[in-house]
Structure formats: C-alpha cells, structure tokens
Amino acid sequence: MLRNRRTWALLGLIATFVVVMFLPVSFSRTLRRNTTEALAPVHKLFGSISEKFTSAGHAVIDRNAILEENAALKLENAELERRVKDLEAIEKENLHLAQQLKFVQRQPRRLRPAKVIARDIGGWWRVVTIDRGHTDDVQVDQAVVTARGLVGKIIETSDHTAKVLLISDPSCKASVRLASEDAPGVLSGGGVWLRGKVRCHLTLIDEDVEIERDDMLVTTGMGGVFPAGIDVGFVDAVELDKSSGLFQRATVVPAVDLQSLSTVFVITSQSSVSGSGGTP
C-alpha cells in the first residue's frame, strides 16, 4: 500500500515536471525575472558579508605586506602629484589650442555603474547578475564595460537587476577590428580553458591582414549593440583557418579580467550626457 502511494507520488512529480518543462516561454521568462528580482536583496546581503570577510581576512594575513605597500604608495603618490601639476599646465595649453582649432570633443556616453551581485548558479553559462534594472534605464542589448574594456551585453532585465552575458560565452558575438588597421572580424566567446584562462575566438579575418601577438582589438560598432571603439582584448595566437583557407583565426585574451568582476558600467545611452545619475 505504502509502496503504491510512493509510486503514485513519484508519477505525480514527474507529471509536474512535464508541465513545468512545457510552460510558455513568456511565463517562464516572467517567473525567472521575478525569482532573480526576489533574491536580489539576499544576494546583496550575502555579497556584502562575504566582501567584509574577505577584506578582514586580507587585513589580518597581509599586515606586513600592507605596511610595505603603504610606504611604496606614499612615494608613488608624491611622484604622481608632481606629474599632475605638470599635466595641468599641459592641459591648459591643450585646451587653448583645441579651442583655437575648433576641435570637437568626442561626446561622452552615459554610463550607469553597477555591482555584480551573483554569478551563474551552475557555472554552465558565463552570465553575471548586476544590481541595476529597468528602473535605472538598463535594457536588453545594452553594452557593459569597465575602464579596461568590453565585458558583455545585457540579456535579461527585471526592475532592479539585470543579467549580463559575458564576451567569453560562446553564444556572445561581437563585430571587432584590429585597432591598428581597419581589418574587421567576428569575436566569439571561447569559454574557460583547462588551465583556467579565459579566451575568445577571432574569426573571419582576411588572410592578407598582418596580425601579430598582442595586437589590440576594438569594437566596430556594427550590429548596434556594442558602440565603436571599445577595447576588447589582445591577440594571443594566430593561425590560418584551414577549413576555408581564405581567413585567419586568432585566440584573444579579453582586456577585462572576467573572472573577478565586481563593478561594471552599463552604456545606457551613446549620446551626450544631460541630467544627473549617470557617470560620464
């Protein structure tokens, strides 16, 4: 009797699973969005606790190293202050010359700072969750960057959170070119290699183009997601694409350390900044 009940319970659960698996896409999307949104405060809480533990641990372990670093930083600071004074003079001269030549400065993009509050729960996809969403003008297909370069793009948003697909994910593709010359190619994520290095693949580069190791790649702006001129990464190795024989392919090291992201910027607008809230 008990065994019979157990079998029925299991059959019921399997039926539930089948129903859940064939839920309409819109419904499962809403469910997913709401779950991420509901868990965001818990993620933030646990994140801040782990940050405090990490910094406290570092402070205890690396006391001597911190003292040495502090002394070195004081020296460096003095040197930098001197350089800043020199640069201020140069800047004044530069501004004056720019005005005279009617130099049009490049309009800054509107950047929205965001903190990474969670990573992909299973480690199967290269996705991180940030603490900005609809209410902060964050929308799907906006580019995400750091000061070092391109991070990825927004793929899902809720009111106060958003998911970012990193450029190291195989499903993330970007149109790029060599910074030194106008040679376009397609960048796609290569995941994390067995030695723990994050890599991307660069394909469809014309075989006549001269590519060398450490060549910088930047976005072209084609496709409408990633604005032009953002640093993407450096060429690590190049080879001829044997399948076609017409193109070269390269392995690329991302400019941003995607394994240890903490603060990123969402490009919410590519036009000039007016108003408050954004950090140009």
Partner 1 sequence: MTPLLIGFLVVVGAVLQGLIPSVPFLGEAKAPVLLGIVLYFALMRNPAPAFSTAVVAGLFLDLLGQGRIGFSILCFLIIAWVVNESREHLFGRRWSTHMMLGVFGSAFMVFSFYLFNVIDGTLTLPFTGMLAKAYGTMLLGLVTVPIVFKIIDWMHRGLGIRVKVREM
Binding site for partner 1 (CB under 8 A): 6, 9-10, 13-14, 16-18, 20-23, 28, 31-32, 35-36, 39, 42-43, 46-47, 50, 118-125, 127, 129, 170-171, 191-192, 194-198, 259-260
**Cα gap 259→246, rounded to integer Å:** 34
Least separation in angstroms between CB 244 and partner 1: 21
Query: Judged by CB, which is closer to partner 1: 189, or 278?
Result: 189
Are the C-beta atoms of residues 240 and 207 closer than 8 Å to each other? yes
To partner 1, the closest distance from the beta carbon of 189 in angstroms equals 9
Query: What pairing do the DSSP bridges indicate for beta strands 110-119 and 216-219?
Result: unpaired
Q: Looking at this protein, which amino acid is placed at residue 62?
A: D
Contact 166, 126 (CB under 8 A): yes
Nearer to partner 1, 112 or 199 (CB): 199
274, 110 contact by CB (below 8 A): no
CB 41, min distance to partner 1, A: 10
Question: Least distance in Å: CB of 141 to partner 1?
Answer: 16
Contact 164, 128 (CB under 8 A): yes
Please report how many Cα atoms fall inside a 13 Å half-sphere around the Cα of residue 63, on the Cβ side: 2
CB of 133 to partner 1, least distance (A): 16
Alpha-carbon dihedral 104, 276, 132, 230, rounded to 10 degrees: 10
Between residues 54 and 139, which has the closer beta carbon with respect to partner 1? 54
Q: 53 vs 103, which CB is nearer to partner 1?
A: 53
Minimum CB separation of residue 63 from partner 1 in Å reads 25
DSSP letter at 97 equals H
